[in-house]
Amino acid sequence: MCSPPHQLTMKPTSRVATKRRLMFRTPAPCDHRLTSHARCRFPWSQVLFLSMFSLALQAPLSTQYLWDRISEDLGYNGSKRSECSNGSVPPDPLQTEVETLTAHWNLYISLGGFSVGLLVVPLLGSWSDLAGRRPVLILPNLGLALQAVVYLVVMYLKLPVVYFLLGRLLSGLSGDFNAILAGCFAYVADTSDRKSRTIRVAVLEACLGLSGMLASIIGGQWRRAQGYINPFWLVLATNLAAALYAYLFVRESVLPDPSAKLLTFRHHKAIWHVFSSTGSTSEEGGRLHRCKLWLYTLCFFMVVTVHFGSRELYVLYELSSPLCWGPALIGYGSAAQHLAYLSSLLGLKIMQRCLEDSWVALVGLASNIIGLVVFSVADTTQLMFTGYALCFLFMAATPVLRSKLSKMVGPSEQGALFASVACVESLCLLVGSGLFNSLYPATLHFMKGFPFLLAAIILFIPAGIIG
| Predicted local distance difference test score (pLDDT) of residue 40 | 37
Looking at the predicted structure, is the pLDDT value of residue 83 above 60?
Answer: no
Looking at the predicted structure, is the pLDDT value of residue 25 above 50?
Answer: no
- Domain 41-77+91-252+282-466 falls in which CATH fold? Growth Hormone; Chain: A; (1.20.1250)
| Predicted local distance difference test score (pLDDT) of residue 20 | 38
Q: From residue 340, how far is each of 3, 92, 368, 395 by CA, in Å?
A: 36, 34, 10, 7
| Predicted local distance difference test score (pLDDT) of residue 4 | 39
Of the listed ranges 28-42, 70-84, 269-283, the least confidently predicted one is 28-42
Query: What gap in Å lies between CA 202 and CA 349, rounded to an integer?
Result: 9
Count Cβ neighbours within 10 Å for each residue of 190-205 and write b for 16 or more, e otherwise. Answer: bbbeeeebbbbbbbbb
Question: With contact defined as beta carbons under 8 Å apart, do 338 and 216 qualify?
Answer: yes
Looking at per-residue pLDDT, the higher value among 38 and 211 belongs to: 211
Looking at the predicted structure, is the pLDDT value of residue 100 above 70?
Answer: yes
Looking at per-residue pLDDT, the higher value among 267 and 18 belongs to: 267
Report the predicted TM-score, pTM, of the whole model to 2 decimal places.
Answer: 0.72
Average pLDDT, the chain: 82
Looking at the predicted structure, is the pLDDT value of residue 192 above 80?
Answer: yes
Of the listed ranges 71-85, 229-243, 254-268, 403-417, the least confidently predicted one is 71-85
| Predicted local distance difference test score (pLDDT) of residue 402 | 92
pLDDT band of residue 279 (cuts 50, 70, 90) is low
CA angle 453, 457, 462 (to 5 degrees): 140
By CB atoms closer than 10 A (0-12, 13-18, 19+), residue 393 is: buried
pLDDT band of residue 171 (cuts 50, 70, 90) is very high
Domains of the chain by residue range: 41-77+91-252+282-466
Looking at per-residue pLDDT, the higher value among 266 and 409 belongs to: 409
Looking at the predicted structure, is the pLDDT value of residue 299 above 90?
Answer: yes
Looking at per-residue pLDDT, the higher value among 261 and 343 belongs to: 343
pLDDT band of residue 14 (cuts 50, 70, 90) is very low
Query: What gap in Å lies between CA 72 and CA 69, rounded to an integer?
Result: 5
Average pLDDT over residues 415-421: 86
Looking at the predicted structure, is the pLDDT value of residue 28 above 50?
Answer: no
| Predicted local distance difference test score (pLDDT) of residue 276 | 76
| Predicted local distance difference test score (pLDDT) of residue 265 | 73
Looking at the predicted structure, is the pLDDT value of residue 285 above 80?
Answer: no
Looking at the predicted structure, is the pLDDT value of residue 23 above 50?
Answer: no
Looking at the predicted structure, is the pLDDT value of residue 210 above 90?
Answer: no
Average pLDDT over residues 96-122: 85
Share of the chain above pLDDT 70, in %: 85
| Predicted local distance difference test score (pLDDT) of residue 166 | 93
| Predicted local distance difference test score (pLDDT) of residue 464 | 95
| Predicted local distance difference test score (pLDDT) of residue 96 | 84
| Predicted local distance difference test score (pLDDT) of residue 255 | 83
Q: Which residues contact 174 (CB under 8 A, 6 or more apart)?
A: 120, 139, 140, 142, 143, 144, 146
Packing angle of the helix pair 283-319, 266-276 (nearest 10 deg): 110
User: How far from the centroid of its chain's Cα atoms is residue 201's Cα?
Assistant: 13
| Predicted local distance difference test score (pLDDT) of residue 452 | 95
Of the listed ranges 265-279, 388-402, 410-424, the least confidently predicted one is 265-279
Of the listed ranges 69-83, 302-316, 354-368, the least confidently predicted one is 69-83
| Predicted local distance difference test score (pLDDT) of residue 34 | 34
pLDDT band of residue 425 (cuts 50, 70, 90) is confident
pLDDT band of residue 150 (cuts 50, 70, 90) is very high
Looking at the predicted structure, is the pLDDT value of residue 9 above 50?
Answer: no
Average pLDDT over residues 153-171: 93
Looking at the predicted structure, is the pLDDT value of residue 140 above 90?
Answer: yes
Q: What are phi and psi of 174, to 5 degrees?
A: -100, 5
